[in-house]
Structure 1
Amino acid sequence: MWLFKYELEMSYPAIGKVFGGRNHTTVMHAINKVDSLTKKDTKLKQKINHIKIHFQKRLSPLPKKLIN
């Protein structure tokens, strides 16, 4: 969810739909939780950055229209 929000700039309701119809507040909570944890845990932040890099590499060949 965090990647969908920050990398794809999707809305909370749109992310919720992608994740099985989750409520937007559930999505907000999940994203805020990751934000909070990464401020405290440098290893987690490194892992997320690693995933983010792979995510970006996978998306880069796709047309912008498909992503947004």
Structure 2
Amino acid sequence: EPLANLDYKLREELRAELPKIFAAAGTIFVYATTEPHEALLLGGNTATLSEGRVTQFGPTIEVFRKPVDLVT
């Protein structure tokens, strides 16, 4: 969780910059977070994990709208 230990102001600034950085790089990034709002802000696709296994993968908004597992 890259932003977890930052103060609120810096975390919000970086949240605004990360999508620009990801887009400019033109590559795939894996970003791990336990914060649902971060996944919504940053993720084009999202994977949910349970006990080390992928339980769902797809467009972030769809994963949030139709979760296959309410625990994750």
- When normalised by structure 2's length, the TM-score is 0.37
Identify, as 1 or 2, the structure richer in helix. 1
- When normalised by structure 1's length, the TM-score is 0.38
Identify, as 1 or 2, the structure richer in strand. 2
